Amino acid sequence: MDVLNLRWWGWGTLDQSYPLEGRTAFWPTLQAWLEIPEEWIAHETPPIPLEDISLRPPRLNPRQFSALHKLLSENAVRTDQRARIEHAYGKAYRDLVRLRAGHVPYPPDVVVYPDDEAQIASLLAWAADNDVAVIPFGGGSSVLGGVEPPADDRLIITLDLARLDRVLSVDTTSRTARIQAGATGPELEAQLNAQGFTLGHFPQSFEFSTLGGWIATRSAGQNSIGYGKIEHMTQAVRVITPIGILETKDTPATAAGPSLLQLLLGSEGTYGVITEATMRIHPLPQAQDYRGILFHSLEDSVAAFRDLMQHRQLHPAIIRLSDAPETAAYAVMGHEHHGLRRLADTLLERYLKMRGYDLTTGSTLMLLGFEGDTPWVARQWNVALEICADYGGLSLGQTVGRSWRRERYAQPYLRDTLLGHGIMVDTLETATTWSNLLNLYTAMVQAMKKSITENGGGPGYVMTHVSHAYAQGASLYSTFLGRQVADPDPLAKQAQWQAVKRATTDAILAAGGTLTHHHGIGRDHAPWLEEEIGPGGMQVLRALKSTLDPAGIMNPGILLQS
């Protein structure tokens, strides 16, 4: 990704942030939750200046540089410090604590920007002949180490797909579109919207992640209930591998043996480079009606969620259910109002308490939304509100929905602020059946809080939401916060995080959850992959790897540990 004002040390761009002005309850509440000293709030540690980071020099010799320049177009080969640092890590917590401290021991030797598939094919052939590792790179938003170079002696090329960013064609009759893999969310939506369509895939990383990255990691957008996960949207893919081109059939379904498409989905650049895909698209909705529903307890709201998903007449675009700690966090993040708006807030709080609800001590908030033709959306809401009312749900109207949509892509910027104040913050996600959901939730949250405390993070704070749901079950997505260890060494902070990650992942698998619902495997989940799919499954993946990438040049150490 080639963004001029990109935060190389954090999320997004320098001109954007998550403003805390007017959110007067935020810092005092966070201080109480995490038991952090006052000086941590008052002092923010900035990242090290870019020019102060010492990188190892590119290890390519003149002959290799000359070969790359011949294979690629002018200005397509970069070895400058900024490009190499921006492509050295993804955007996980452990990536950012190392970046902020200037700890970049294994940057790529060179970053290349091919113009087309022919250049990619030539590059992979050259890399295989010269034992050079190649890391496909979209937006770099991986949170599991999926774009991090390996710590070995091989030369590393990061292949950035930023120049393959077009919607190539739209079949309005079939409602499909051929799209290049390097297109970011805004780029592909702008091109589809101009013709009256949407892909409907809106992950929190939407502004910076790419179609190829979504496909490579089996991504889920925030509207996955309405539009499906990326594997449900992908009808065909085209992949350049070291042994040639793989292209799956552009048909809505096939019975021609095991699905090659499904093997390529989630492959994380280990078999080749996804260059384009045929995607299932949808007409732009006439109406988008998102509302907040408040429930007395998590048990009530989960039961309502399940009924909404299993009702034959209902087709929500989104359901996102926050547990009590996340609901309280939303309340804390609200802006302080004055005058009549403050009076209205006070009256609403009193009314909710009279009805037995409390945003800060136990109630749970559901975001529920429908998209489509206006009359259809109205009918959907009539049924949905009846179901929610059966479980004690109280409609808060559209204000909650408007607020969430306004800030849906801004929250990752808050993590940068928290890191500057010595706070560990990261996420884990999983999925299970409805019958096991509350059991998994309890095991996951308890393991997370316990490991935060045991590893020097203080009492910690864990908040979770249920989303990406199906008739059979749903995902759980937890955000955890704790105090960073006092050691200034970024590797000590990484070790603290790793201990929490390990303990929680073990608890998730022991409680019947999946290793990951939509973040993928990368480096971080690779140690548990065999437990997830079994020894036979690992043999299948290794056989596929050795067939498509016999020299082992593609994204080594990702998905399959070396």
Q: Which residues are catalytic?
A: 477
Crossing angle of the two packed helices 26-34 and 324-332, in degrees rounded to 10 = 140
Residue pair 381/306 in contact by the 8 Å Cβ criterion:
no
Quote the tokens at residue 474. Answer: 């749903």
Closest to 69 (Cα-Cα) out of 131, 19, 15, 119: 119
- Strand 364-372 relative to strand 461-467: parallel, antiparallel, unpaired? unpaired
Distance CA 122, CA 62 (A): 19
The residue type at 64:
Q
* Short-list 557, 426, 421, CA closest to 143: 426
Tell me the three state secondary structure of residue 426.
strand
| Contact of 468 with 518, CB cutoff 8 Å | yes
For residue 430, give every residue at least 6 positions away whose Cβ sits within 8 Å of its Cβ, in sequence order, or none: 440, 444, 475, 476, 508, 513, 514, 515, 516, 517
Between CA 128 and CA 134 the distance in angstroms is 9
Q: What is the Cα–Cα distance from 543 to 538, expressed in whole angstroms?
A: 9
User: Which two three-digit tokens encode residue 2?
Assistant: 């080639």
Residue 124: partners with Cβ closer than 8 Å, 6 or more residues away: 134, 240, 241, 242, 272, 273, 553, 554
